[in-house]
Amino acid sequence: MTKQVQQLDRVIIRFAGDSGDGMQLTGDRFTAGTAEFGNDLSTLPNFPAEIRAPAGTLPGVSSFQLHFADHDILTPGDAPNVLVAMNPAALKANLGDLPRGADIIANTDEFTKRNLQKVGYAANPLEDDSLSEWRVHAVPLTSLTVKALEGFDLSKKDAERSKNMFALGLLSWLYHRPTEATIKFLEQKFAKKPDIAKSNIAAFQAGWNYGETTESFSVSYEVKPAQLAPGVYRNISGNQALAYGLIAASVQSKLPLFLGSYPITPASDILHELSKHKTFGIRTFQAEDEIAGVGAALGAAFGGALGVTTTSGPGVALKGETVGLAVMTELPLIVVDVQRAGPSTGMPTKTEQTDLLMAMFGRNGESPVPIVAPMSPSDCFDAAVEAARIAIKYRTPVMLLSDGYLANGSEPWRLPEVSDLPDISQEFTVEPNGADGEYLPYKRDTETLARPWAIPGTAGLEHRIGGIEKADGTGNISYDPNNHDLMVRTRAAKIAGIDVPDLDVDDPDGDASVLVLGWGSTYGPIAAAVRRIRRNGGKVAQAHLRHLNPLPANTGEVLKRYDKVLLPEINLGQLALLLRARYLVDIISYNRVRGLPFKAEELAGVIQDVIDSD
C-alpha cells in the first residue's frame, strides 16, 4: 500500500502517560533521532515530583513535549499538534492544551472502566462524541506490543513495559525519524540483558511496521532538516551544557574542578554528569547535606581549586551562611541554583524564576555577589564559563541562576572551537607583597579590587582565614568601626566594578516605543512573541539581561529610551522591583507562577495590548 507523504515546516508532539510508562525515555529517544536528522528542536519534559505517583491518576501523569522544525525555533511550542495518550489520565490532563483539529493517538487498551473512573470519566471518550473536534487514532498499543513479543520468554507484564517503544516506533515512522540510533541505544542500554534489548528493539520495529501497514494512518509527514550555521552539532540539555561549561572553565583557568553537592531536583544531573569526567581531573563529592557540600567547595577554593556547588532553591537557603563566608574570605566559588517552584519544597519538578531576590540579598550583612543567568539550554555552557571568569578574576562567589525549564529542556548546540574559549587563568601569589617583605592577604589589585590568592603551604605566605571582619591589607581580625565601613564599601565596589558587556537591544528600525525586557529562561518565549508581533507589522524592541548583578552600565539609558518597558517574569515581579528602585522607571510587570514557562502566544497578546494602550 502506497501512502501519501505530506511536507510540514514544523511539528509539536507531546508524549503523555503514567509516570511508569517511560514517556521521558520515549521523548528523549525521539529527540535524539530528530537531532540526528538535522531539525532545529526544543523540548519540555514535565513529570511529577513523586517517585511513583498512583498509577492511572492525574497527579501521576508524565509528559514530554518536542517542537521540531525546518527553521530556527525558540520554544517547545505553545500547543501540541499530536498527543500520544497512553491512558485516560494522560488524555484528560492534556486535552485542554490541544487545539481543535489536532491528532490524538490513544492507547485503547488502557481505557478500561476502572481507569476511566479514576479520572472522572463517566463514559469512554473514545466511544462517544466528546472528541469529535480532534482526529482520534485509536490504537491498542499494549496488546499490539504483547502480540509482537510472543516469541520472547517474557511474562505479559514484562512485555507490556515495552509499549513505549512500540509507540516510539510508530511515531518514528509517522515523522520519518531515523531508527539506527535508537536500536544502537537499546543495545547499549541493555547490554547486560540481551533478551531485554532484543524485546525492546522488536517492539520498536513492530511499531514502525504497524505504521507502515495499518490503514489507521494513510499519511506520513516529513519535516526537512533546518538550515543551521555550519559546524558540528549535538543535542544538549541545560544541565549537560552547564556541566560541560564548568569542565571548559576548569581547562581554560588551569584549575582543578571540585564539585561539592547534595542531590536535589532539578540540579542533580550536573553532579551525575561531572562524575563521568574524571579524565579531566574533575573531583565530585556527594556530601551528606547542602551545608557540607558548599563548605567542601569553599575549602577546595581555599586550596587552589575551582570550587563549585550545585543546588536548587531550598538548598540555597541552607548554603547562605557559607556563601557569606566566601564573601568575607573573598575566594572564588560558583553557586549554581537550578531554580524550581517554591516556597519550601514547593513543586520540585516545576520551574520558576523566584530566587533572584534571594540571590541578591539572601545572606546576613552587606554581602553582595555577582549573578549570571543563562537564557537557553545551550547558553548554560557559556554562562558557566562566564561565572568562572568573574569568580576567579574578582575573587568572589558567583550565583548562577538556571531553572528547571532550562535544566531539563534540550536543543541543538554547535560545539565551540576551543580556540574561541576565553583564557580565564590567573596566577597564584607566590611571593610576599608587602613593603617590608611580609604577605598582605588583603592588599588589592588596583583595577579589580581583588585580593591575592595564595595556596596554603606556600612558604612565607601564611595568613588568617575565617568569617570575622578583616583588617584592610593585613587580614587580621578587626572590630574597628572605620575599618568595617571601609571593607564593606570595598567589597561592594569590587562587585559593582565587574566588567560586563553593555545591554544589547534588538530594535530593527530604531523607532519602537515599547521595549520587552527579560532575563533567564524567558528569552525563548519573549523572542518568539516579538517575532509574531513584527510579522503582523508591529514595532517592538527586545533586550535580555544575562548579568543581573552588576547590571550592564547602559541599563538605565536603555530603559529610559522607551516610552514603555514590559518585563515578563515567572515570579511576582522581582527584577521589576530592583529596576524600579534603581532607575525610577515605571516597569510594566507581567507575572505568572504556574510552574510552567510562558507561551509565545500569551506573551504576544500581552505585548500587543501594551503597544495599543495609551
* Torsion 54-57-59-61 (CA) sign: positive
List the one residue out of 153, 14, 39, 159 whose CA is nearest residue 91.
14
**From CA 307, how far away is CA 255, in angstroms rounded?**
9
Whether 49 shows a pLDDT value over 70: the answer reads: yes
* Torsion 46-377-12-351 (CA) sign: positive
DSSP string for residues in 424-483: ---PPP-S--STTS---TBPPPTTT-PPP---TT-TT-----SSSPBPTBT--B---HHH
The confidence score (pLDDT) of residue 199 equals 96
**From CA 588, how far away is CA 530, in angstroms rounded?**
16
Give the number of other Cβ atoms within 10 Å of residue 14's Cβ: 27
Number of helices (H) and strands (E), helices first, in the chain? 20, 22
**From CA 478, how far away is CA 96, in angstroms rounded?**
63
- Assign 614 a pLDDT band (cuts: 50, 70, 90): low
For helices 194-213 and 163-174, what crossing angle results, to 10°? 40
Q: What percent of the chain has pLDDT over 70?
A: 100
Cell of 573: 515581579
Q: Are strands 410-414 and 233-237 parallel, antiparallel or unpaired?
A: antiparallel
User: Cα angle at 253 between 251 and 258, to 5 degrees?
Assistant: 70
- Assign 21 a pLDDT band (cuts: 50, 70, 90): very high
Look up the pTM and report it: 0.96
Residue pLDDT, tens place only, 31-42:
999 999 999 999
The confidence score (pLDDT) of residue 50 equals 84
The confidence score (pLDDT) of residue 51 equals 76
**From CA 90, how far away is CA 15, in angstroms rounded?**
9
**From CA 453, how far away is CA 460, in angstroms rounded?**
14
**From CA 451, how far away is CA 487, in angstroms rounded?**
12
Give the number of other Cβ atoms within 10 Å of residue 86's Cβ: 28
Mean residue pLDDT of the chain comes to 96
Residue pLDDT, tens place only, 130-154:
999 999 999 999 999 999 999 999 9
Whether 2 shows a pLDDT value over 90: the answer reads: no
Residue pLDDT, tens place only, 306-355:
999 999 999 999 999 999 999 999 999 999 999 999 999 999 999 999 99
**From CA 260, how far away is CA 323, in angstroms rounded?**
13
Residue pLDDT, tens place only, 492-510:
999 999 999 999 999 999 9
The confidence score (pLDDT) of residue 1 equals 60
The half-sphere exposure of 62 on its side-chain side, counting CA atoms within 13 A, is: 22
Alpha carbon 437 to its chain centroid, in Å, reads 49
The confidence score (pLDDT) of residue 3 equals 84
